[in-house]
């Protein structure tokens, strides 16, 4: 069974979710595993020698790694098969050792045909206060009953 924590009746426009558990101590292993799964072997994400040579403090994560992590908070919230749109903008780099915090805000609640939909704004920030991703999503939510 898919796991879904949100139901249409329980959400109101303006609701903010700020209590999702953070992901602590992001490591190089996370980036390497994502490189393998996605096939994106840009050396900026696994080779400190190359990353520092071009001026970065160290390797940093794939934007789509963080976007993938964000997407699973989204699917845990609305259901894996219920996402209709998902968009992200990359605002900052994710460095090893950082902690990720994910937030969401319901911006619109409406009917679209026979679907109960919400639009939400999404954000990923690190423990230095840097915004890594701003995003948005549209989902068709299940009803209670």
Partner 1 sequence: MVDKSIIGTEMGGSHMLVEQGKVREFAKAILDDNPVYLEDDPPVPPTFTMAMAHWPAPSGGQGQGLSKLGLDLMRVLHAGQEYEYLGEIKVGDKLTTRSQISDVSEKEGKRGGTMTFVTSETTFTNQRGEDVLIARTILVQTSKAAS
Binding site for partner 1 (CB under 8 A): 1-3, 23, 30, 33-34, 36-41, 54-55, 63-65, 67-69, 71-72, 74-76, 80-81, 83-90
How far is Cα 122 from Cα 21, in angstroms, rounded to an integer?
15
Q: How far is the CB of 108 from partner 1 (least distance, A)?
A: 17
Closer residue to partner 1 (CB): 43 or 68:
68
Closer residue to partner 1 (CB): 41 or 110:
41
Contacts of 93 (CB under 8 A, 6+ apart): 56, 60, 61, 132
Closer residue to partner 1 (CB): 8 or 65:
65
- Degrees (nearest 5) of the Cα angle 127, 132, 137? 120
CB 11 within 8 A of CB 82: no
């Amino acid at each position: 069974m898919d796991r879904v924590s949100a139901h249409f009746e329980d959400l109101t426009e303006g609701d903010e979710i700020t209590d999702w558990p953070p992901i602590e101590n992001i490591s190089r292993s996370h980036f390497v595993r994502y490189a393998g799964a996605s096939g994106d072997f840009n050396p900026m994400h696994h080779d400190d020698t190359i990353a520092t040579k071009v001026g970065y403090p160290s390797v940093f994560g794939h934007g789509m790694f963080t976007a993938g992590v964000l997407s699973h908070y989204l699917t845990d919230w609305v259901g894996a098969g219920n996402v209709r749109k998902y968009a992200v903008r990359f605002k900052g780099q994710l460095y090893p050792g950082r902690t990720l915090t994910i937030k969401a805000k319901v911006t619109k609640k409406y009917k679209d045909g026979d679907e109960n939909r919400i639009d939400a704004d999404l954000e990923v920030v690190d423990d230095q206060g840097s915004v890594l991703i701003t995003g948005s999503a549209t989902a068709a939510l299940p009803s209670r009953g």
